[in-house]
């Protein structure tokens, strides 16, 4: 009888410990590791050269037809002001579903999915960077790893992007 009670307490204890935890898909751009909310990720695909759109900003590589949906492909390195990298077999496109709009982002590689507890998240430092500070949710600390947690919806809704409408 006590065993059943202990199991219920253990389950409740684990639920309390993971309260507020969020899962992030982690990926790399150069030496930096980033994380985005896993709930925004629709799929991960190998990089295929998209169809270029004349006059589009350089960070928009073009569009691709994803099972009948035309998807803009954004090179996140160029969007964040990083040096351009050569695409290789590790280069992937993370297809995101953002406010009913599908957008692909090109990243150097995908690492894994991590669950972060609120205690593992820190506020972003107040420094000048090419990223709008409003687009950084904070920093995630997992052992020796430090993740830059992006608010990808806000980043894609920026004036220069306009791929996702700002919510009211």
Could you report the per-residue pLDDT of 97-129, keeping only the tens digit for each?
998 899 999 999 999 999 999 999 998 777 666
What is the structure's pLDDT at 168? 45
What is the structure's pLDDT at 7? 55
What is the structure's pLDDT at 85? 81
pTM of the model: 0.82
Buried-state track 120-158, b at ≥16 Cβ within 10 A, e below 16 = bbeebeeeeeebeeebbbbbbebeeeebbbbbbbbbbbb
User: Whole-angstrom Cα distance, residue 57 to residue 59?
Assistant: 6
Read off φ and ψ for residue 152, nearest 5 degrees.
Answer: -65, -30
Specify burial of residue 12 (Cβ count, 10 A radius: 0-12, 13-18, 19+).
exposed
> Are residues 139 and 146 in contact, defined by beta-carbon separation less than 8 angstroms?
yes
Cβ neighbours of residue 163 under 8 Å, at least 6 residues apart?
A: 72, 74, 98, 101, 103, 156, 157
What is the structure's pLDDT at 99? 84
Per-residue model confidence as pLDDT tens for the chain (168 residues): 455 555 555 555 555 556 789 999 999 998 899 999 999 999 999 999 999 999 888 899 999 999 999 999 999 999 888 888 889 999 999 999 998 899 999 999 999 999 999 999 998 777 666 667 778 899 999 889 999 999 999 888 876 666 666 554
User: Whole-angstrom Cα distance, residue 95 to residue 72?
Assistant: 10
User: Whole-angstrom Cα distance, residue 132 to residue 147?
Assistant: 17
What is the structure's pLDDT at 162? 63
């Amino acid at each position: 009888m006590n065993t059943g009670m202990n199991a219920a307490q253990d389950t409740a204890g684990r639920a309390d410990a993971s309260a507020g935890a969020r899962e992030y898909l982690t990926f790399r751009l150069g030496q930096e590791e980033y994380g985005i909310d896993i709930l925004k990720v629709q799929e991960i695909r190998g990089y295929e050269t998209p169809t270029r759109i004349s006059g589009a900003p350089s960070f928009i590589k073009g569009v691709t037809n994803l099972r009948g949906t035309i998807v803009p492909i954004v090179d996140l390195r160029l969007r964040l002001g990083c040096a351009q990298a050569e695409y290789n077999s590790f280069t992937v496109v993370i297809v995101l579903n953002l406010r009913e709009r599908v957008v692909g982002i090109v990243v150097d590689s995908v690492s894994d999915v991590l669950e972060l507890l609120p205690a593992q998240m820190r506020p972003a430092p107040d420094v000048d960077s090419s990223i709008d500070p409003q687009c950084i949710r904070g920093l995630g600390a997992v052992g020796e790893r430090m993740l830059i947690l992006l608010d990808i919806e806000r980043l894609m809704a920026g004036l220069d992007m306009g791929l996702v409408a700002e919510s009211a």
